[in-house]
Amino acid sequence: VVVVTREIRRDPTTGEEVVLSSERTLERRPPSPPDDPQSCPFCPGQERFTRPTIAAVERAGAWVARAFANRRPVLVVEEALSSRDGLLQSTSGVGAHEVIVEAPEHVPLHHLPVERTVDALTLATLRMQDLRRDMRLQTLSWFRNHGVGAGASQAHPHAQVVGLPVVPRRVAAFRDRCAAHRARTGRPLMQELREVEARAGRLVLEQGPVMAFCPFAPRHPFEVWLVPDGAGPHLADATPAQLEATARAMHAVLGALERGVGPTPLTALAFGAPAQEAGEGIGWHIRLAPRLLVGAGLEEATGLAVHSVFPEEAAEVLRSALSVKTR
Does residue 247 contact residue 121 with C-beta atoms inside 8 Å?
Answer: yes
| DSSP one-letter code for 33 | P
Tell me if 101 contacts Zn ion by CB under 5 A. no
The whole-angstrom separation of Cα 228 and Cα 286 is 9
Least spacing, CB of residue 106 vs Zn ion, in Å: 3
100 forms bridges with which residues in the sheet?
Answer: 67, 159
Tell me if 103 contacts Zn ion by CB under 5 A. no
142 forms bridges with which residues in the sheet?
Answer: 161
Residue 24: closest CA among 127, 102, 97: 97
Tell me if 18 contacts Zn ion by CB under 5 A. no
Tell me if 172 contacts Zn ion by CB under 5 A. no
Tell me if 100 contacts Zn ion by CB under 5 A. no
Least spacing, CB of residue 148 vs Zn ion, in Å: 15
Contacts with 7 (C-beta within 8 Å, 6 or more apart), sequence order? 19, 20, 90, 91, 92, 93
Strand 17-21 and strand 305-307: pairing? parallel
Least spacing, CB of residue 153 vs Zn ion, in Å: 12
Residue 266: closest CA among 307, 306, 219: 219
| Stretch in the footprint of Zn ion (CB under 5 A) among 43-51, 140-148, 161-169, 181-189 | 43-51
From the CB of residue 210, how many other CB atoms can be counted at a distance below 10 Å? 25
Instruction: Please identify which residue in 6, 144, 156, 181 interacts with Zn ion, judged by CB under 5 A.
Output: 156
Which is nearer to Zn ion, 51 or 202 (by Cβ)?
51
Which is nearer to Zn ion, 34 or 303 (by Cβ)?
34
Tell me if 42 contacts Zn ion by CB under 5 A. yes
Tell me if 189 contacts Zn ion by CB under 5 A. no
Over the window 109 to 148, marking each residue x when it contacts Zn ion by CB under 5 A and - when it does not, the resulting string is ----------------------------------------
Contact residues toward Zn ion (CB under 5 A) are 37, 40, 42-43, 106, 156
